[in-house]
A and B are shown apart, each in its own frame.
Chain A
């Protein structure tokens, strides 16, 4: 009788190696290629601006990762980030409030939308993908109502003909522009949040339980786990992460651009999915999402420096995602169980 870990072969198993380290290898190879052929790519500035560029996607992706851990998927994150941009602009420009209040309003908005998703999924029992899709459309439209469908920037003419009294405060603009030592603030936020999510998922009881829910919700329930509460928590956190992404985005643009965040959803979901394949874990995880975001950052920065047209970016992102999915589903011997059923 064979007992214990499944057949450990002594020889080198190429398939296992590719599943485990393929992704990291691709990242390193691309990095070396760009760095050796493009001198500008090597500059510290370029590296940090690449990380800064990728931080919004990465932070939002970390939230998506949390929902994937409980067996769901939050499709409303792009819309939440977009809502955050509009909310922050409204608070500062139209209501002439401080940056700190804008920040609170945005985070509150993120929590509320996350809880609304949780309500749809946990209480009304709507499948995750469909519920968050509905939320996405609803808030994308809803955010346009108070601003009459216009982007909010200082000097905006309001409905009653008066000029909007406020503007983006210098403090708020610093969110994207400040540095901690040589590190841009968004990059620092990204790394801190990635670290926090990593600790949460791997070291705390809550993360452990969330993985149990994602793998076998019924077994988790019968082990006494309050499955609904944890799923609600995942969506609430996802809302908060998306609104933090939105804050950075808003600070970067410096105006309430109504189209902001539109392309974020696909990128955030993509980096989370890419993340599942890292180290052959075949499950959503903070490390993977971080690495996935960095990889996509490297690729896009590199290709831009090499002079590829902007529309090549989506093709490349698509191919990166496809490769990751092949690693997770086709090559991995572990059963992947992180994609929600509709």
Chain B
């Protein structure tokens, strides 16, 4: 194989935070290289270096064996590296026709004169579309670009990118908005590119896709390349490298228990439009841990139970009775609580005090005839600070001033204080220091001991094994494993996670 792009000894740091250290990577011509890594592994940084977004790195980039300088998006494009990002709407120019969008670069560069008939543009665009087997006829090319579906918009961006004949095409989670059929279409398109000798670097968390399309797999963790394989891949090995191989000896000591009494039953619930229906029973007195990679359906599961997302199909029973939450407030009224995944976007209210954040979901309990009971609220805030050992000057402190771990304690603690029946925690340990993680884990364990059902969702196996009595593995919206934590091991879990559909 001939290399299209070589990356040699690339390192980069943000301040004291070393995000890439000594990365060597060879991307071959005419085939797809898959890049796999958890959040924070350094994938995005590497991509941004290759596409010229970051320039303060050390190391070398070689294209066709020659060293090149890439220090801006323009130089990256000139060197033949094109990147298609996850958010396709950033690349579409609304109000223009499909043809004009397709030829946008040429229109901007002046290659196509400013005053030109749409007819000329359409016939020019037809050539490009034809060359790429897009099957777009003239009337389609004349349409406003917004009449295209998401998949077609993505094709359009790809086509536009390809009209610059790149040497390397980077695709960042290209199928996140696509249906299965549309994804297959995209893969055919990529095969077509490979035949033209274009190198593709493909980033995705969907292992089945990588299996289907990639010839080479590169796994990153903590800013380093940990594993390189050629097809056929050992997913087991790849995931172990991706998730880290800490010894299980670090596991915190707790007595595992088995739950009793089903609180919530999910009957044929679909997490995605095209995923298989899922059946699940969540029991009292135990911590149920749900593990899955990004896009496996963890957040969807949490939000469906909490009434924050609509149920696609299926039904739920709460303690034997039909449960149809239409809004999170319905869930809260039934003592089903959720700590959402993204703390800043989904839990925090800027400039609010700890006490105010604590009482927001339960304003009714902290007011009489609408008037807030300040004293009761203050007591609740103080208790929260004490209970969860929140490091702060006072319960009146502004939450923005707390560290990430302490903010997390506040948004977890506010629910724990109010007698949950089912407590759902989505990635409760993300961006949380080890001390806070232990405190939160302990509280969650204590909670389960008091007749409560707890559901913890995370992508990190160790985090789950640290807290769960029962382990459920989700892959692409489907339960592939459901066992007692004591009867499994990290090995087996990783093995299941790497199961390719």
A-B pairs, 8 with minimum CB distance: A4-B393, A224-B332, A205-B363, A224-B329, A223-B361, A205-B367, A204-B370, A223-B360
In the complex, A212 Cα to B333 Cα: how many Å? 19
Q: A3-B401, A5-B401 are in contact. List 19 more A-B contacts (CB 8 A).
A: A3-B391, A5-B393, A5-B397, A204-B370, A204-B372, A205-B370, A208-B356, A208-B360, A212-B352, A215-B351, A220-B360, A221-B308, A222-B346, A223-B347, A224-B327, A224-B328, A224-B361, A225-B360, A335-B351
B350 CB-CB contact with A under 8 Å: yes
Binary contact readout A1-32 vs B (1 if CB under 8 angstroms, 0 otherwise):
10111100000000000000000000000000
11 residue pairs A–B, Cβ–Cβ below 8 Å: A1-B391, A3-B393, A3-B406, A5-B393, A204-B370, A208-B360, A212-B360, A216-B345, A222-B338, A224-B328, A226-B327
Tell me which residues across on chain A come within 8 A of B338, comparing CB atoms: 222
Binary contact readout A208-221 vs B (1 if CB under 8 angstroms, 0 otherwise):
11011001101111
Contact A4 B392 (CB under 8 A): yes
Contact A222 B340 (CB under 8 A): yes
Tell me which residues across on chain A come within 8 A of B346, comparing CB atoms: 218-219, 222
B115 CB-CB contact with A under 8 Å: no
Residue of A nearest to B330 (CB): A224
Task: Looking at the assembled complex, report how far the CB atom of A69 sits from the nearest CB atom of chain B, in whole angstroms.
Answer: 13
Q: Which of B370-416 contact A (CB under 8 A)?
A: 370-372, 391-394, 397-398, 401-403, 406
In the complex, A4 Cα to B401 Cα: how many Å? 6
Q: Which of A4, A211, A212, A221 contacts B328 (CB 8 A)?
A: A221
The count of residues in chain A whose C-beta lies closer than 8 Å to any C-beta of chain B is 27
Contact A206 B370 (CB under 8 A): yes
Q: Tell me the B residues contacting A by CB distance below 8 Å.
A: 306, 308, 327-329, 331-333, 338, 340, 345-352, 356, 360-361, 363-364, 366-367, 370-372, 391-394, 397-398, 401-403, 406
Q: Which of B347, B397, B401 contacts A219 (CB 8 A)?
A: B347
In the complex, A74 Cα to B248 Cα: how many Å? 59
A337 CB-CB contact with B under 8 Å: yes
Contact B398 A205 (CB under 8 A): no
Contact B372 A208 (CB under 8 A): yes
Given A203-B372, A204-B370, A204-B371; A219-B363 close (CB under 8 Å): no
A42 CB-CB contact with B under 8 Å: no
In the complex, A220 Cα to B402 Cα: how many Å? 20
Tell me which residues across on chain A come within 8 A of B329, comparing CB atoms: 224-226
In the complex, A206 Cα to B364 Cα: how many Å? 10
Tell me which residues across on chain A come within 8 A of B363, comparing CB atoms: 205, 208-209
Task: Looking at the assembled complex, report how far the CB atom of A11 sits from the nearest CB atom of chain B, in whole angstroms.
Answer: 20
A306 CB-CB contact with B under 8 Å: no
Contact B349 A4 (CB under 8 A): no
Tell me which residues across on chain B come within 8 A of A206, comparing CB atoms: 370
Q: Which of A157-203 contact B (CB under 8 A)?
A: 203
Residue of B nearest to A209 (CB): B363
